Amino acid sequence: MNNAYIRNVEYYLPETILGNAELAQLYPEWTEERIVSKTGIRTRHIADSDETSLDMAEKACRVLFERSALEKQDVDFLILMTETPDYLLPASACVLHGKLDLPEDCGAFDVNLGCSAYVYGLILAKSLIVSGMAHNVVLATADTYTKLINPMDKSTRTLFGDAATATWISDTGLIEIGESVFGTRGKAYESLIVPAGLFRTPSCDETKVVRVDENGYSRCQENIFMDGADILSFSIDVVPKTVSQLLKKAELKDEDIALYIFHQANGFMLSYLQKKMKINRERFVESFSDTGNTVSSTIPIALKRCMEDGKLPSKGNIVLCGFGVGLSWGGVRLSIKDGVQ
Amino acid sequence: MLLGDAGTATLLEKTDDRCDVMTFGGATYGEGFRSVYNCYGGFRHHAAKGAERMDDIEVFNFILTYAPQAIREFWTHTGTGLEDYDCYALHQASLFTLKQLSRKLKIGMDKIPLSLARYGNTGPASIPVTLVHAFGEHAEKKQMRTLMCGFGVGLSVSAASAMLDTADILPMVETEEYFDDGILEGATG
């Protein structure tokens, strides 16, 4: 049977940076220090008004082709994970395929998932490779949540940033994609949602009315709504369970795991999970203070930074876990064979 | 005049029977994306609202070039040929397109079930809708070697085969039920 391996990861962050000083000016009751202590985030990268997920994904993919031994004619599938596509149709992956000049015998499709997207994408890519349908898959993630956030909604504007990533997955390599577990809590979909603007509730005057909620956060129904308390309790419920199911499936113990890379939601949630799961800091990756929560891109950015900083073990296991909008989650084990770096 | 709405559900199970399910020959034609698209409502052109755009001639050319090529490649790749399939379940783009494909590939129209006249082109649902329309009410149980080919928005094309049992193809359900999430009524915050 074929195995699937991560060969390279690259990412792109938009140029415009939003700092806490600027936010503190908008929200007089919140100081810069308060924003950092609540979120752990100092800056976020924001896509320009005419820069879309597709543009960012294209930039990340171009860096991937520049810095990898992957030839375009050898790409069998292009998968784009995004919740903020350029068009209702076609899939942004198809447009991206054309912009990147990929060969015509390359399949391309989008998947609409957010914080759990990267783990799903890795397993989709692995499935295509293991079943013999592909040798090389390019997995891109890209989201522009900031375009959906009301500027006066402190609860989300302080957290989210924009980014895109591109990962080369191949049938040869050193970082093997191993066991995985997935889950969905579909009944709780309203906890993180853009309620209106598509077919269920089309855009109308009413959906554009900005209201202030009981916490003093402003938004209309075409903006992102996040019930922070619900999402926090959801995450601290499912993440430890998912990791223990994954370890059981892989027949591993906590001490066999060299690194845990979770979805980089925010500082408060990550430090809660780290303490609750009793993972020591050396093995617990935190990489969000300069980017904020970049949704589908947080895990690959953190993984790439570990590669660059020499934090990947030369041999051993890494656990990735994504969780959020859906509500949806997934965990996967990566195992590094002798010889990487 | 062409398009209709539908939803479908397909159950896939792991079995020990030998069957050439889902051998894939996909092609994407990203440069041609302007031929079928809705430019409004996504993030590229966010504010305005407009109609779906379809460049008939370009899409037609695309289908007649790439769909026969995909099916021929599929035959070659799987070591099969025209006669190895009892049923060609093709995306219901238009009657004219299907007749052209039949002519180009020499597949008799008796092997190409149609659902267009009743349901129109239901987009991603059109292949299963066609199978349901043709075989959903079938009383007799029949094993059917089926080759499916879809083509369109992307522009994108793919083919897959499966051994289908007509007893497993259920009748069409027509419903007016829908789900109300209460977003507008509950517009408080």
Over residues B83-104, the pLDDT tens digits come to: 999 999 999 998 988 999 999 9
Contact (CB<8Å) A78/B38: no
- The minimum CA-CA distance between B85 and chain A, rounded to whole Å, is 22
pLDDT for position A293:
97
Name every chain A residue with its beta carbon within 8 A of the beta carbon of B34: none
pLDDT for position B51:
53
In whole angstroms, give the CA distance from residue B151 to residue B70: 10
In terms of Cα–Cα distance, which of A227, A261, A236 is closest to A331?
A: A261
Name every chain A residue with its beta carbon within 8 A of the beta carbon of B30: 94-100, 102, 108
DSSP B134-146: HHTT--S--EEEE
CB B184 within 8 A of CB A200: no
Residue tagged 């009743």 (tokens): B118
**Both tokens assigned to A31:** 């100081």
pLDDT for position A331:
98
pLDDT for position A340:
45
Is the ipTM of this structure higher than 0.90? Answer: no
Q: Which residues are CB-neighbours of A104 under 8 A, at least 6 positions away?
A: B27, B28, B29, B66
In whole angstroms, give the CA distance from residue A49 to residue A285: 32
For residue A85, give the nearest of B42, B158, B188 by CB distance: B42
**From the first residue on, what is the mean pLDDT of each consecutive set of 10 residues in chain A (341 residues)?**
92 97 91 92 96 98 97 97 95 96 94 98 97 94 97 94 98 96 97 94 94 91 94 95 98 96 96 95 96 97 96 93 97 84 44
CB A86 within 8 A of CB A53: yes
Q: Other CB atoms closer than 10 Å to residue B64's CB: what's the count? A: 16
CB A171 within 8 A of CB A75: no
Q: Helix or strand or coil: residue A269?
A: helix
Contact (CB<8Å) A106/B27: yes
Phi, psi of B70 (to 5 degrees): -65, -45
User: Residue ranges of chain B with pLDDT lower than 70?
Assistant: 17-43, 45-55, 185-189
User: What radius of gyration, in Å, describes the C-alpha atoms of chain B?
Assistant: 19
Name every chain B residue with its beta carbon within 8 A of the beta carbon of A53: 43
Q: Helix or strand or coil: residue A295?
A: helix
For residue A86, give the nearest of B42, B66, B155 by CB distance: B42
Q: Other CB atoms closer than 10 Å to residue A74's CB: what's the count? A: 13
> Is B25 in CB contact (< 8 Å) with chain A?
yes
- The minimum CA-CA distance between B44 and chain A, rounded to whole Å, is 5
Contact (CB<8Å) A221/B41: no
Q: How far is CA A35 from CA A148, A274, B111, in A?
A: 20, 21, 66
pLDDT for position B28:
61
pLDDT for position B176:
86
Q: Other CB atoms closer than 10 Å to residue A297's CB: what's the count? A: 33
Contact (CB<8Å) B189/A214: yes
In whole angstroms, give the CA distance from residue B42 to residue A93: 14
A–B: how many Cβ contacts below 8 A? 111
Q: How far is CA A79 from CA A91, A95, A121, A143, A309, in A?
A: 10, 12, 7, 14, 27
Q: How far is CA A281 from CA A79, A258, A274, A290, in A?
A: 33, 11, 8, 19
Residue tagged 């390019």 (tokens): A138
CB A296 within 8 A of CB A143: yes
DSSP A33-79: HHHHHHH---EEEE--TT--HHHHHHHHHHHHHHHSS--GGG--EEE
Query: Please, which residues bridge with residue B21 across strands?
Result: B161
CB A281 within 8 A of CB A54: no
Contact (CB<8Å) A98/B33: yes
- The minimum CA-CA distance between B156 and chain A, rounded to whole Å, is 8
- Preceding amide of A89 cis, omega within 30: no
Residue type at B184 in one-letter notation: L
> Is B29 in CB contact (< 8 Å) with chain A?
yes
This prediction has a pTM of: 0.89
Contact (CB<8Å) A90/B25: no
In whole angstroms, give the CA distance from residue A160 to residue A153: 11
Nearest residue on chain B to A219, alpha-carbon basis: B189
Look at strands A136-143 and A5-12 and give their pairing. Answer: unpaired
Name the B residues in 114-153 with CB < 8 Å from any A CB. 153
Contact (CB<8Å) A207/B44: no
For A216-252, letters b (16+ CB in 10 Å) and e give ebebbbbbbbbebeebeebbbebbeebbebbbeebeb
Residue tagged 């912009």 (tokens): A99
Q: First-to-last CA distance in chain B?
A: 41
CB A331 within 8 A of CB A181: yes
Chosen from B43, B178, B181 to mutate, greatest number of chain A CBs within 10 A: B43
CB A103 within 8 A of CB B28: no
pLDDT for position A242:
98
pLDDT for position A249:
97
> Is B106 in CB contact (< 8 Å) with chain A?
no
Q: Which residues are CB-neighbours of B56 under 8 A, at least 6 positions away?
A: none
pLDDT for position A57:
98
> Is B35 in CB contact (< 8 Å) with chain A?
no
Contact (CB<8Å) A91/B154: yes
DSSP B170: P
pLDDT for position B33:
57
pLDDT for position A61:
98
Residue type at A204 in one-letter notation: C
In terms of Cα–Cα distance, which of B65, B124, B71, B68 is closest to B93?
A: B124
> Is B14 in CB contact (< 8 Å) with chain A?
no
In whole angstroms, give the CA distance from residue B54 to residue B38: 9
pLDDT for position B35:
55
In whole angstroms, give the CA distance from residue A253 to residue A255: 5
Phi, psi of A102 (to 5 degrees): -80, 160
pLDDT for position B117:
92
- The minimum CA-CA distance between B65 and chain A, rounded to whole Å, is 12
Name every chain B residue with its beta carbon within 8 A of the beta carbon of A108: 28, 30, 154, 156
DSSP A222: T
Contact (CB<8Å) B156/A108: yes
pLDDT for position A28:
86
Phi, psi of A50 (to 5 degrees): -105, 15
In whole angstroms, give the CA distance from residue B58 to residue B61: 5
Contact (CB<8Å) A78/B158: no
